[in-house]
Amino acid sequence: MHPPPLPDLTRTLASAVMALAVVLLSAGPAAAHAVLLRTEPSPQSTVQAAPADVRLHFSESVEAAFGAVRIFDVDGKRVDHGERTSAGGGRIVVVPARLGEGTYTVTWRVVSTDGHLIRGAFQFYVGAPSTISPVPIEADAGAGTAVGWGFGVVRFAWYSALLAVIGLVVVRRYVWVPAAHAAGLADSDATARVTRRFTRVLPWAWGALLAAWLGRLVFQTASISGLSLRESARPDILGDVLATSFGESWLAGLGFTLLAGLAVAGLTRRGSLFGVRSETWLSVLAGAAAGLALAVANMGHARTEANPTLGVPSVAVHLLAVAVWVGGLAALVVLAAAAWSAVPRPDRNALAGRLVARFSRLALGAVAVLVVTGTVNSILDLATVTDLWRTTYGRVLSAKILLLAVALLFGAWHLRVTPRRLAAADPAGAASRAFRRSSVLELVVLASVVGFASALVALVPGRSLAELARGPVNETKDAGDYTVQLFIDPSSPGPNEIHVTFVDSNGLGAGDVAALSAILTVDGPGGGSTPLPMRLLSPGHFVANRELAAAAYRLEVTGTGPAPPLAAAFSFKLRDPGGDAAPYRLSP
């Protein structure tokens, strides 16, 4: 009696795919990885002499080739002129401007080197604020919800297809074929079934890989431009993106994807393609996969790290190791399920034992590489160990590590226990069925690991937050439909200007906030709370002058005018310049 079909297997795999999709899609448009550290002039500050330019300082290199930094006067007319330039290795954007006295609004939209859009707006004053309210500047709405969800689908499809291509080839060549030969099943109906499924599924997996790669360009363009998908597919718009560092890496990845397609054709064709042996096509596919992994790594965090020559290859090798383990396990389940009913019952356990032994050795090597490269990547992405539980990036990384540990327990079970059970007398085939079930469970856990790893792409690494913490206090909180911004200049012990600005949905000062009450509290022993008199400087913008010592503070503000009143609370610390590094401030 053959083992019945596994509807539970299908349902479990479908659930795993849905769970992974939810993780990827919930990330939405990727959060900014570069962070605006400070500006010259500072937000909501008053300068006596008109500057010749406005400068924006970022934590990482940014590109304005597909973005804009614009300066508007109180009447809403643009006053920036000339070409934008960069300095500091691309971390500083310099915008020339012709300025007189009055209020100025700066809107900015740039792309970080890892391909993510960052945008915002602020005001500053020359001489004194204008006597009239500035003309509202239309806010940059950014990418829509459909673009965010669509980009999540594309990312999910691409990762799944890459794992499928690599896993199918690795398992058939290095697991199934040797195991079938050793079991005397090389010319069996089971091997014929595996070959037929392999030659059908592999080209489809590569086609999905190519389609998803093309989709990445369109959705990336829509994400960083704010245009619709239709407009983003225009050649001139795509050309702007291809001129960025993301575009250069994308073009390289396209070349490697096409090369992989040639290798797939050579591996699935009945006769030889161009007279080239299958072993040669395997080498071509391995090289294409390595190049594609490097191209993807060069689009993300690793490119902007302090040591990209270490970070980029480490991320690429990490991705390939995941493909061998996760993609290989999925391929093993899929290919073996296709052939299982064609294997005589007395031979099933013996074949399963050989499959487990060979795949376990491959998986063990992949896990070793995974651990080493994962450690390197974590060191490069995190500022301190405490980031693992103090930042969103670190918490997602910790969840990934915990799930990886669970998957390793399944792997240890398959390596230590499963072979002994398969070798024992088992006429009913219970051991082989148990292996199939445990393999599916391991695959579900590994799918979740990949999901969390993919979600990390959409989060700001701890090192970027740490660099932001070393700059001036510049934090925001949500209050109803408004945003409340706290900016302290110069954010060091001594005299400071404390700016609180209520920003409306257009990114400008909220003129309907007529008054502000503020309470400043010094945390720690001997601390206390005192009212902080705030004066109105411009619509929605209040300022106070206060001598601040090196200490931890809490500022509670309540703006009146809108109903109900708008309340927000900020926590920050000031340290002596000669002391230790500035304490870590978490983003809201």
What's the structural domain count of the chain?
3
**pLDDT of 298 over the 80 cut:** yes
Same domain, yes or no: 437 and 482: no
Each residue's pLDDT tens digit, 367-381: 889 889 888 888 877
Same domain, yes or no: 435 and 477: no
3-state SS assignment for residue 269? coil
Same domain, yes or no: 301 and 337: yes
**pLDDT of 128 over the 90 cut:** no
Q: Where are the beta strands (DSSP E) in 376-415?
A: none
pLDDT at 18: 42
Residue 9 inside a domain? The answer is no
Each residue's pLDDT tens digit, 324-351: 988 888 888 777 766 776 777 667 777 7
The whole-model pTM stands at 0.67
Could you tell me the sign of the dihedral formed by the alpha carbons of 256, 258, 259, 260, in that order? positive
Same domain, yes or no: 416 and 321: yes
Same domain, yes or no: 262 and 395: yes
Structure tokens belonging to residue 575:
């340290």
Same domain, yes or no: 298 and 339: yes
Residue 507 inside a domain? The answer is yes
Same domain, yes or no: 267 and 303: yes
Confidence label for 289 from pLDDT (cuts 50, 70 and 90): very high
Q: Quick one: 438 exposed, middle or buried, by C-beta within 10 A (0-12, 13-18, 19+)?
A: middle
Residue 20 inside a domain? The answer is no
pLDDT at 424: 63
Residue 140 inside a domain? The answer is no
Q: Quick one: 351 exposed, middle or buried, by C-beta within 10 A (0-12, 13-18, 19+)?
A: buried
Residue 30 inside a domain? The answer is no
Cβ-based neighbour number of residue 444 at 10 Å: 19
* Mean pLDDT of all residues in 52-73: 80
Residue at which a domain ends, from 92, 126, 160: 126
- Please name the residue that has the structure tokens 């503000």: 557
Same domain, yes or no: 121 and 219: no
- DSSP codes, 55-124: EEEESS-EEEEEEEEEEE-TTS-B-B-S--EEETTTTEEEEEB---SEEEEEEEEEEETTS-EEEEEEEE
Same domain, yes or no: 293 and 375: yes
pLDDT at 351: 77
Percent of the chain with pLDDT over 70: 79
The enclosing H or E element of 546 equals: strand 541-548
Report the CATH number at residue 53.
Answer: 2.60.40.1220
Same domain, yes or no: 88 and 207: no
- What are the backbone angles phi and psi of residue 536, rounded to the nearest 5°? -75, 125
Residue at which a domain ends, from 93, 126, 159: 126
Same domain, yes or no: 410 and 459: yes
Residue at which a domain ends, from 412, 440, 465: 465
Given the DSSP bridges, would you call strands 62-72 and 102-112 parallel, antiparallel or unpaired?
antiparallel
Among 544, 520, 548, CA closest to 533: 544
Residue 10 inside a domain? The answer is no
- What are the backbone angles phi and psi of residue 461, rounded to the nearest 5°? -65, 155
pLDDT at 586: 32
Q: Which of 23-27, 344-348, 545-549 has the lowest mean pLDDT?
A: 23-27
* Mean pLDDT of all residues in 117-132: 83
Residue 233 inside a domain? The answer is yes
Higher pLDDT, 306 or 233: 233
Tell me the β-bridge partners of 30: none
- Average pLDDT, rounded, for the chain: 78
Residue 49 inside a domain? The answer is yes
Same domain, yes or no: 437 and 502: no
Q: Which domain holds residue 116?
A: 36-126
